[in-house]
């Protein structure tokens, strides 16, 4: 019996020694074991960077290839219903490159935009607004088929002109400002998903035929202007400075919550002689002026939109130079 008890105690003692030496090693191994990563589809999606909603169809020198805030939240068709006439128009507004189109711009003047306006009218292409039956309301009267706007006219040189044609237009800045923003209690545009910030809206440029035409800022004078617009999508920061409206700038004031006014003061753009390059676009949401009134005022609803490049005439050099260079010379 005594021998049995001794053997039992020796066994228990040996077990205790083994336990004390082995368990810590097992614990260390368990601590060193890597944690398993989730392999579900949801986890894989979460690990991917957010894809921008706006699809850039090509790159241009004055564009930034990095998506901006507006690019991440608003697609090419804006917030209009897919397949609607509004979405069709928005996609044209946001089209930077027309496949197969010439890459050398055609020089045009104000008369060409007048001719295009008359041709659209003569062909009965809808634009403006139309009344809603049995209501006091109106709705946009947009073309259901925009192919009729392509090659709409042929000029004296035999060049075909219409929506999507790459053109260059010279004029004088009547005014330039970020449109449809909080500054004027704007509600944004469907093309920009009704964003109200400056960074999320087009820059509307009204161009006069002569410098003298920019001095009188009345509606009747603006009715003699034509329009060019810079889209907010992939817009380089310097192009936000193409704005002659002081209320869009801080002018020494503090930025208010929810605002994104531009730093500093406006550049001396009002009355400046400029050349804009971009695609011809028929903005059927509007109508040309009638009897000196329009909303917004313009002589033709044919625009240069989107604008690809801007040059400003620098008197000291007696030539047009890129806006980027001109802005540096005249920064304040």
pLDDT, tens digit, for every residue of 187-225?
A: 999 999 999 999 999 999 999 999 999 999 999 999 999
Dihedral angle over CA of 14, 16, 22, 23, nearest 10: 170
pLDDT at 185: 87
pLDDT at 42: 35
Residues facing residue 206 across a β-bridge: 175, 227
Phi-psi region of 321 (alpha: psi -120 to 50; beta: other; left: phi over 0): beta
pLDDT, tens digit, for every residue of 18-57?
A: 444 444 443 444 344 333 333 333 333 344 457 899 999 8
CA distance 170 to 202: 20
What does each C-alpha distance from 159 to 83, 162, 167 come to in angstroms? 31, 10, 11
Cβ-based neighbours of 254, under 8 Å, separated by 6 or more: none
Position 140 pLDDT exceeds 70: yes
Cβ-based neighbours of 69, under 8 Å, separated by 6 or more: 199, 200
- Report how far apart the first and last C-alpha atoms of the chain are (Å, whole number): 106
User: Higher confidence at residue 311 or residue 3?
Assistant: 311
CA distance 81 to 328: 42
Supply the pTM of this predicted model: 0.84
Residue 28's φ and ψ, nearest 5 degrees, are: -65, -40
């Amino acid at each position: 019996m005594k021998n049995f008890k001794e053997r039992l105690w020796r066994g228990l003692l040996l077990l205790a020694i083994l336990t004390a030496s082995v368990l810590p090693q097992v614990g260390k191994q368990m601590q060193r074991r890597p944690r398993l990563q989730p392999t579900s589809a949801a986890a894989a999606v979460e690990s991917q960077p957010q894809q921008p909603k706006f699809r850039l169809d090509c790159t241009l020198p004055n564009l930034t290839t990095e998506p901006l805030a507006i690019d991440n939240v608003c697609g090419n068709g804006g917030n209009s219903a897919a397949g609607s006439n509004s979405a069709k128009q928005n996609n044209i507004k946001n089209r930077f490159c027309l496949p197969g189109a010439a890459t050398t711009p055609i020089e045009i003047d104000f008369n060409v935009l007048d001719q295009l306006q008359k041709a659209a009218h003569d062909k009965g292409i809808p634009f403006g607004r139309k009344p809603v039956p049995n209501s006091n309301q109106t709705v946009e009267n947009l073309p259901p088929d925009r192919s009729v706007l392509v090659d709409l006219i042929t000029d004296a040189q035999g060049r075909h002109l219409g929506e999507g044609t790459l053109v260059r237009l010279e004029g004088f800045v009547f005014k330039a400002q970020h449109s449809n923003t909080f500054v004027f209690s704007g509600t944004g545009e469907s093309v920009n998903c009704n964003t109200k910030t400056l960074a999320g809206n087009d820059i509307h440029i009204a161009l006069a035929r002569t410098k003298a035409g920019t001095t009188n800022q009345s509606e009747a004078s603006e009715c003699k202007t034509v329009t060019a617009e810079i889209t907010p999508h992939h817009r380089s920061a310097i192009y936000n400075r193409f704005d002659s409206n002081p209320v869009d700038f801080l002018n020494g004031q503090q930025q208010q919550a929810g605002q994104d006014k531009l730093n500093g003061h406006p550049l001396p753009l009002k009355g400046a002689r400029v050349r804009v390059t971009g695609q011809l676009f028929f903005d059927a949401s509007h109508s040309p002026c009638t009897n000196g009134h329009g909303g917004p005022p313009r002589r033709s609803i044919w625009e240069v939109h989107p604008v690809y490049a801007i040059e400003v005439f620098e008197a000291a050099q007696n030539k047009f130079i890129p806006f980027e260079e001109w802005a540096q010379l005249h920064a304040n």
